[in-house]
Amino acid sequence: MALLTGGCECGAIRYEAEGAPLDAGWCHCRICQRISGAPAQPWVIFAVGDFRYVKGEPHVYHSSSFGERHFCGACGASLGFQLRENAREVSINTGTLDDPSIAPPRKHIWTRSQVSWFATADDLPVFLEYEPGHEG
Ligand SMILES: [Zn+2]
Ligand SMILES: [Zn+2]
């Protein structure tokens, strides 16, 4: 599959990934809500070996005891999430892809904290909390 590319709003940070995303979904957790400022965060997963930042280095925020968030220190764009140790996957926020259309969500996770007035028009699987691949 072709190289997938993306980056932050201001262009200071660019990334690329090889291969199709391993997974994709919506996260309704409170951390994603606070970090994105939105009711839910769409994400895509790549193997860490298939993903690299090619311009700039993201700032890192430790969002939990085991997770870290990547963001642009210049424009504040929220880029993604990965485990702080032994990460095998990186979760990238779908809206930062140059073509977000290539990675439609396949599921909802952390719907325990789904905002009451927010719903998407789909019949995707729903997980109340953690579903492997995205947490923290
Ligand atoms: Zn930026
Ligand atoms: Zn989340």
DSSP string covering the chain = -PPEEEE-SSSS-EEEE-SS-SEEEEE--HHHHHHHSSS-EEEEEEEGGGEEEEES--EEEE-SSSEEEEE-TTT--EEEEEESSS--EEEEEGGGBS-GGGS----EE-GGG--TT---S----B-SS-BTTB--
Query: Ligand 2 centre from 114 Cα, in Å?
Result: 11
Task: Check residue 136 and give its pLDDT.
Answer: 52
Q: Where are the domains of the chain?
A: 4-113
pLDDT band at 2 (very low <50, low <70, confident <90, very high): confident
Cα(87) to ligand 2 centroid in Å equals 16
**Percent share of the chain, pLDDT over 90:** 88
> What confidence tens digit (pLDDT) does each residue in 86-116 have?
999 999 999 999 999 999 999 999 999 999 9
Q: How far is the CA of 92 from the centre of ligand 2 (A)?
A: 11
**What is the CA(103)–ligand 1 centre distance, in A?**
22
Q: Which ligand has the minimum distance to the alpha carbon of residue 71?
A: 1
Residues 6+ apart with CB under 8 A from 47: 19, 22, 88, 89, 90
**d(CA 115, ligand 2 centre) in Å:** 13
Q: Do 1 and 19 meet the contact criterion of CB atoms below 8 Å apart?
A: yes
What separation in Å is there between the alpha carbon of 40 and the centre of ligand 1? 21
Task: Tell me the CATH architecture of domain 4-113.
Answer: Beta Complex (2.170)
